[in-house]
């Protein structure tokens, strides 16, 4: 064969990272510059829509004098939102390949949370959980598709882990049908049992093989979601204060609530981000406890906004509850948030008894502020701000002493 008759070489295919469909393989846990993607941020914003709906219904329930029923429904619906968000977050940290199919399946999950959000009001008011169950099912089935893709690309223990996740998620989804078929009195027990079983799925699936989640990426994702939830809290409280001023001309009465609420939320942000946490997430045991504990962090942060709305409605005479109850709607979730952040973050980095006691004592003082009547929210905000100042001062002094000791040695 002459050179001129040699067939042209087959051009190489496009690089793997440019192909619309790619293998869904595990990413490296030590991967450099691992940050949240625009898709993940968009995903978070859509989930906050559902959180806002749950918070609004909690406001109505508490303001109408049904706090027990409202809190129970809020806890159940918030679990569905948080658990679906958390499962996607950890999966994406280990397997995000950002191909076309991955994006489409993520869009399906976003559609699911919007369906869930649309059903929040009927779940609270009519105890009809069909739309909530359907939205949750859409999100969970979409996640199963992702796990099946991971199983197809993986081998050995990695494939087994992916299949365990798929089976566990599907079985739990069948169990959640109890919310639709059992009498209303049995639904809290269905929730309790199924929530425990859901949280056992990762423990079972990753027995023998840990997914390659990225500590820094996980810490950033949780931090960003905390900021978004706190932002939604500010937005809800602002709307409530604006409505109170526009409709009732009650600026003088609402100003302490507005200032106190802003101080609480600012302190909540400061306390959460005062120390980096990714270095603490070294093993699955530590990471699971930390990740699961954020149910309390997120739920209480969103409930602070609902409490501020209740306080505003009580001040302008729209809520059927006492000043004490309205104050507790703010101070109790604030105290719960402080204790949760201390348990998950601060206690690992505080040195000495004084530093360790700042947040627990602050939580106790915030609860005591409940009994200060119309000044309760402002007092709680000042106490939270004082905690930030005290913690910052103690930390600075401890660092100064440590530097002096190193210099002397």
Structural domains in the chain? 35-212 (no CATH), 216-408 (1.20.1410)
> Given this model, what pLDDT does residue 13 score?
47
DSSP 3-state percent helix, strand, coil across the chain (nearest 5): 80, 0, 20
Instruction: DSSP letter for 177, please.
Output: T
Q: What is the pLDDT of residues 182-223, one digit of tens each?
A: 888 888 999 999 999 999 999 999 888 888 888 889 989 999
Give the pLDDT band of residue 284 (cuts 50, 70, 90): low
Whether the predicted pLDDT of 365 surpasses 60: yes
Give the pLDDT confidence score for residue 17 in this predicted structure: 53
Q: Quote the Cα angle for 386-226-326, to 5°.
A: 60
Of 47-61, 68-82, 282-296, 366-380, the one with minimum mean pLDDT is 282-296
Query: What sign for the dihedral angle of Cα 95, 142, 131, 110?
Result: positive
pLDDT of residue 55: 92
Min mean pLDDT across 10-14, 83-87, 350-354 is at 10-14
User: What's the rounded mean pLDDT across residues 99-110?
Assistant: 94
Convert the pLDDT of each residue in 228-249 to its tens digit: 999 999 988 888 888 888 877 7
DSSP 3-state of 150: helix
Cα(338)–Cα(250) distance, integer angstroms: 30
**Tokens at residue 11, please?**
């051009």
**Cα gap 32→291, rounded to integer Å:** 22
Task: Please check the confidence at residue 78 and state whether its pLDDT lies above 70.
Answer: yes
Q: What is the pLDDT of residue 399?
A: 63
Mean pLDDT, all residues of the chain: 87
Query: How do residues 125-135 score in pLDDT, each as one tens digit?
Result: 888 999 999 99
Which residues have a Cβ under 8 Å from the Cβ of 164 and sit 6 or more positions away?
201, 204, 205
The CA dihedral of 176, 182, 184, 190, to the nearest 10 degrees, is: -40
Q: What is the pLDDT of residues 306-318, one digit of tens each?
A: 999 999 999 888 8
Indicate whether 14 pLDDT > 70: no
Length of the chain, in residues: 409
Nearest-angstrom CA–CA distance, 47 and 35: 19
DSSP class of residue 26 equals P
C-alpha span between 406 and 399 (Å, rounded): 11
- Closest residue by Cα to residue 208 from 276, 249, 162, 268: 162
Determine the pLDDT at residue 346: 67
Cα angle 110, 134, 205 (rounded to 5 degrees) comes to 75
């Amino acid at each position: 064969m002459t050179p001129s008759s040699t067939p042209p070489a087959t051009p190489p295919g496009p690089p793997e990272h440019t192909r619309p469909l790619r293998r869904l393989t595990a990413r490296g846990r030590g991967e450099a510059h691992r940050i949240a993607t625009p898709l993940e941020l968009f995903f978070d914003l859509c989930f906050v829509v559902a959180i806002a709906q749950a918070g609004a219904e909690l406001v109505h329930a508490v303001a109408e004098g049904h706090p027990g029923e409202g809190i129970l429904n809020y806890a159940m619906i918030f679990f569905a939102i948080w658990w679906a968000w958390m499962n996607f977050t950890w999966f994406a940290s280990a397997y995000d390949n950002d191909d076309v199919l991955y994006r489409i399946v993520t869009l399906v999950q976003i559609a699911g949370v919007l369906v869930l959000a649309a059903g929040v009001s009927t779940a609270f008011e009519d105890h009809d959980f069909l739309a909530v169950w359907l939205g949750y099912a859409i999100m969970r089935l979409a996640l199963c598709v992702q796990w099946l893709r991971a199983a197809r690309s993986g081998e050995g223990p990695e494939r087994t882990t992916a299949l365990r996740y798929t089976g566990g998620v599907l079985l739990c989804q069948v169990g959640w049908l109890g919310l639709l078929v059992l009498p209303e009195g049995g639904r809290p027990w269905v929730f309790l049992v199924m929530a425990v079983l859901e949280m056992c799925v990762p423990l079972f699936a990753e027995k023998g093989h840990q997914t390659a989640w990225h500590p820094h990426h996980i810490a950033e994702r949780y931090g960003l979601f905390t900021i978004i939830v706190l932002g939604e809290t500010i937005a809800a409280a602002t709307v409530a204060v604006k409505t109170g001023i526009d409709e009732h001309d009650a600026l003088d009465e609402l100003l302490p609530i507005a200032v106190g609420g802003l101080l609480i939320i600012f302190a909540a942000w400061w306390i959460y981000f005062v120390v980096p946490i990714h270095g603490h997430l070294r093993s699955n045991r530590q990471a699971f406890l930390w990740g699961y504990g954020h149910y309390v962090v997120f739920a209480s942060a969103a409930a602070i906004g609902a409490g501020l709305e209740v306080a505003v409605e009580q001040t302008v005479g729209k809520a059927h509850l006492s000043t004490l109850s309205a104050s507790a709607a703010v101070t109790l979730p604030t105290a719960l948030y402080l204790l949760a952040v201390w348990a998950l973050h601060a206690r690992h980095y505080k040195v000495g008894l004084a530093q360790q006691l700042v947040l627990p004592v602050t939580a106790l003082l915030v609860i005591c502020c409940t009994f200060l009547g119309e000044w309760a929210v402002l007092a709680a905000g000042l106490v939270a701000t004082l905690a930030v100042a005290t913690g910052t001062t103690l930390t600075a002094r401890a660092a100064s002493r440590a530097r002096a000791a190193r210099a002397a040695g």
